Structure formats: C-alpha cells, structure tokens
Structure 1
Amino acid sequence: MLNTLTVGQPGPTPPLLIVHGLYGSGRNWGVIAKRMSDERLVLTPDMRNHGDSFRADVHDYPAMAADLAKVIEAHGGTADVVGHSMGGKASMVLALSRPELVNRLIIADIAPVSYTHSQIQFIEAMRKVDLTRVTKRSDAVAQLAEHVDDTTLQAFFTQSLDIKNQSWKLNLDALADQMPNILGFPDVTGTYDGPTLFLSGAESDYVTRDYRPKIRGHFPQARFAKIPGAGHWLHAEKPREFEASLRAFLPV
C-alpha cells in the first residue's frame, strides 16, 4: 500500500485523492490538501519509488493505477481524483481501467500522449549531489544550482531529501530505467464517462489543442480550462487559483 497522508474527516462527499507528479511526494500538496479538507477527507499518497512508499523495479502507469485503486478501496471505494503530470497519467489510467472508483476527475497539465522531453537530466543532477556534504537543505540547493538553473526546481527536488540519513527519498535508479514508461502513455482502451476537467497552465505547452481529439476519445465529458500566468507547475505557481478551480469543479 502506498504511504498516504490524510487530512480532514470523512463525510457525505467522497474523499479527494491528490496524485503528485514525477520527483514529487504527497507532502508537496500539503497546503492545498489542508485547505481542501475543510469539507472532505483529502488523501495525498506518495507514489511508488517516491517519498516513503515502497520501491519497485516496475514504474509504469498500469502499476501506478493499481496502487491508487488500493488507496481508494481502503477509503470507501470511490473518490474525486486530481492528478498532476505523471500523477495525471496514472489517474487517467485508473479512471479508464477502474471507472467505478472515480467520481470526478481533474487532470493537471498533462495529456494521454507520449512526450519527447526527457526528465533524465534531473536524475543526473541529483546523483551529482555529494550527500556526505549535506547537513541542511541549503547545502543540497547550492550543489543542485550547478546543474539546475531553475530555483523553483532546486527547492522542489530538495523536498525529497532525507537530510538525517543523507539520501534521496526517490528511487533514482528505477526512475531512470523506467523513464520511457513515464514519458509514454499505455495503449489503453475504453472510456471514462464521468465529469472530467483538463486544467492547464496558460504558459505551458503540455496540453495543446491538437491533443483534444485523443482526450475526448477517452474522456467524452472532458472540459478544458487554463490558469493565466501559470506554467506546468500550476499548483505551485498559482495555488489559490488552482484551489478555486478545484472547488468550482467539485461539488460538496
């Protein structure tokens, strides 16, 4: 079972499951989860090979979807699901393979397609950090800055650092090996007929109009919205706007 943080109380509304992206963790969503927990139970799992969840050689979307299904089954059997990036792809496969578990679906800045921009350079950057010289998070940030220009990403990656044990809470070897699966999207059949929102950053190019026929082929009720001024990390760049979009789409 995935390590899952919970906040809020169960009630008449299905729980909200928030699924993080590559190199993330459930804790990354702590602020939004706490704010959304005013009216429902919110679940933020660590995906396999991330955070405090188990390590595995396989890291593909059917396996990740099955992991998420177990979390939902352990918390009542149905949930509203929000997934960002890698977590969005896992959430799509969950909805397509186990639609009875998903009440409403929000996909944040990703489409059911294969992408060509590799994320392997960030694994290489994290591997270059000399963890024996890290006694506080800023030590790792300083080392990452030599290989990663974006200060937001520097801070993001170091959230997955176990400073006490001088180790990454990421299975970097498995993620590197499975990168083709992470960038791709499995050949899945079927449709999810429930309410679905594809929420994108207006400055991101991850979800283009060219992808809409493929999206609607799997998600016929799909609606589309953009958050102005946000890129791929829309929930971190515009957290209040992201929260407002969730509340508008998810009835209580």
Structure 2
Amino acid sequence: MQRRTVRTDDDVQLQIVEFGGSGAPILLLHGLMGRATTWWPVARWLVAHGRVLAPDARGHGRSQARGPWTTDRLVADVETVLEPLGPATVIGHSMGGLHALVLAARRPDLVRALIVEDIAVDFTDRSAADARAWFTALPQPFASLAHVREVFGVPRREFGDYMSECVEERADGYHLLAEVEHAVAIAAEWAQITHWAVLPQVRCPALLVEAEESVAPPGHMAEMARRMPDARHVRVLGTGHLVHAAAPETYRRHVEAFLSAVSRTPPPR
C-alpha cells in the first residue's frame, strides 16, 4: 500500500491511497467522517480485479480541509483524481455513493461501472439542525480507542470499529480527523438539495446495495434503481449502514458477480 497526493484546481492537497493491483482502475469513495484506509478489507480482494485506489475526501483523513463543503466541489475533487487514469469502476459508500452517482452523470467518460452502497438522493425530510445536534453531541475528545468503539458501536459494532480508524491521538485524547463543522455543512446541504435528476443520466451499469437498516427511506434505493437506465438493486438482510463490514462475504459475492458481468460487456463507444 502506497500513498501519494494530488492538487485540486483550488489548490487543496488530497491524499490518495494506492492499495495495489493492476489493470483498469477501481476507485473507492468513503463516507462522511470516513477515510480511504477504511476500505482496506474490501481492497484486499478487489486487487484481483484491477488497480485499486481511494482518496481521502477533502477535510477527511490526511487531505487538506477547505470549503466549500458542497457535493459539487467534492465531486470535482474526484474528477481531479480520475482524469489522469481514465474510465474506472467507482465504488462509493454513503457520501461516497452520492458522489459516485453525480460523477457518473456529469462525467460518463470517467465511469465505466458504478457500485453505490446505502445512500439516498433525497434527505429533505431531515433537518440541518438534527445533523448539528448529532455531531456536536459526540464526546470529543474520546478517552481511548475503546471509547470510540463504545460510542459509535451501538447498535452496530462494525461502525465502532470503522470509526476507530477515523480518529487521531492528541495530547488530550482522541479526536475525529474530520472537523464536526465541516461534516455538519456537508450534511446540511443534503437536507436542502435532492439529486433525483442525476439518475436518468447515469448510463453505465450500476449496482445499488442497500442495508436492511438503511439510512435511506423504505423503498428509496429500489426507486433509484428504477430511474437509472442500467441498474440493479440488492437489499442485504441483517445489515446496518456499513453493509461491506456487516456482511463482508455477501457484499463480496454481489460485487464480484457484478464486476464479472461488466467485464463481459464492452464499454460504450
């Protein structure tokens, strides 16, 4: 595993994690408050299918933090990462899934196939105030990594394990790598803007993976798939928001079957 950096058109430095593999690129996009290295358990087997890499989104992991904290800006960052590489399979979880959808609609030349895990394109039934209340209630600094796992690991233990990778130790304890105010700003936009309109523009093959205990409203992701020209939808029972961590073998089976099908389909000219 290697690390490198790229600079965006507004001079923000993004860290890229190269997990290995060769061939066509597979780009992994993490969720809100996450980081690239949280994909490591998935990347371990994905390297058999291509060159696997993942950016830390701006304000996350080891990438620089500077606004604006908008979907448009964060998707432009992903374009910067992908433009030197050419068409990729893009796999996104949560926030990363939303960015992958918008990217595929905006830049079909950069996305050969798409896998989107547990996200909605319409959160306007939720409020920015609720997002702020949730984030600001987090007991930072955390006393230990065990404390991080305890806070985030109820009711889903895998979320505690995930978030224990998204903190850093300082003199007074452990802090989230992503600033709360930046996360609130990102989530606040989701409460104001919908992205239904991008779905018919996503013309590449797509797999939508939904958790049983999804962050999306009931039926939402199935409807997303129906509005896309070439999409299939699966709902994985017994899982929370982190499907790839809660049911890794089931997730892998669905993803590898999809990748196999895509590999037999010539890319559009």
Q: What is the TM-score of this pair, normalised by structure 2?
A: 0.79
The answer on 1:178 being equivalent to 2:186 is: yes
Cα displacement (A) at 1:188: 4.8
Instruction: Name the amino acid aligned to 1:179.
Output: A
- Give the superposition deviation at 1:180: 1.5
Aligned equivalents of 2:82, 2:57: Cα separation in 1: 14
Structure 2 residue corresponding to 1:195, chosen from 191, 205, 211: 205
Residue 5 of structure 1 pairs with residue 13 of structure 2: no
Counterpart for residue 167 of structure 2: 161
Match of 1:18 in 2: 28
The answer to which structure has the higher strand fraction is: 2
CA contact (8 A) 2:239 2:247 kept: yes
Q: CA RMSD in A?
A: 2.5
Instruction: Check conservation: 2:159, 2:242, Cα contact below 8 A.
Output: no
State the match for 1:129 in structure 2: 140
Map of 2:10 onto structure 1: none
Aligned residues: 241
Counterpart of 1:138? 146
Partner secondary structure for residue 16 of structure 1? strand
Check the 8 A contact 2:158/2:242 in 1, yes or no.
no
Tell me the equivalent position of 2:48: 38
1:57 alignment partner in structure 2:
67
Q: CA contact under 8 A between 1:92 and 1:112: conserved in structure 2? A: no
- Matched letter for residue 140 of structure 2: V
Q: Name the stretch that deviates more: 179-188 or 88-97.
A: 179-188
Give the match for residue 105 of structure 1. Answer: 114
Provide Cα deviations, 1:34-76, integer angstroms capped at 9, x if missing partner: 11112311112111111111212222211111111111123x2
For 2:57, the aligned partner's letter is M
Give the partner amino acid of 1:105.
L
Q: Please point out which of 237, 241, 244 is paired with 2:250.
A: 241
* Counterpart contact for 1:25–1:160, Cα < 8 Å: yes
Instruction: Report how far residue 130 of structure 1 moved.
Output: 3.2
Residue type of the alignment partner of 2:87: T
CA distance in 1, matches of 2:58, 2:177: 11
Hey, what's the Cα distance between the residues in 2 that align with 1:175 and 1:210? 23
Q: Is the 2:211–2:243 Cα contact (8 Å) retained in structure 1?
A: yes
Distance 1:186 1:46 in 2: 23
What residue in structure 1 maps to residue 88 of structure 2? 79
**CA–CA distance in structure 2, aligned partners of residues 187 and 38 of structure 1:** 34
Instruction: From the superposition, tell whether residues 186 and 54 of structure 1 become closer, same or farther in structure 2 (CA, over 3 Å).
Output: farther
**Which of residues 194, 210, 216 is equivalent to 1:206?**
216
Identical aligned residues as a percent: 26
Quick check: 1:60–1:182 contact (8 Å CA) kept in 2? no
What is the DSSP-based 3-state SS (H/G/I as helix, E as strand, rest coil) of the residue aligned with 1:69? Answer: helix
Question: Which amino acid counterpart does residue 52 of structure 1 have in structure 2?
Answer: R
Which stretches in structure 1 are left out of the alignment for 5+ residues? none
Q: Is the 8 A contact 1:17 1:43 kept in 2?
A: yes
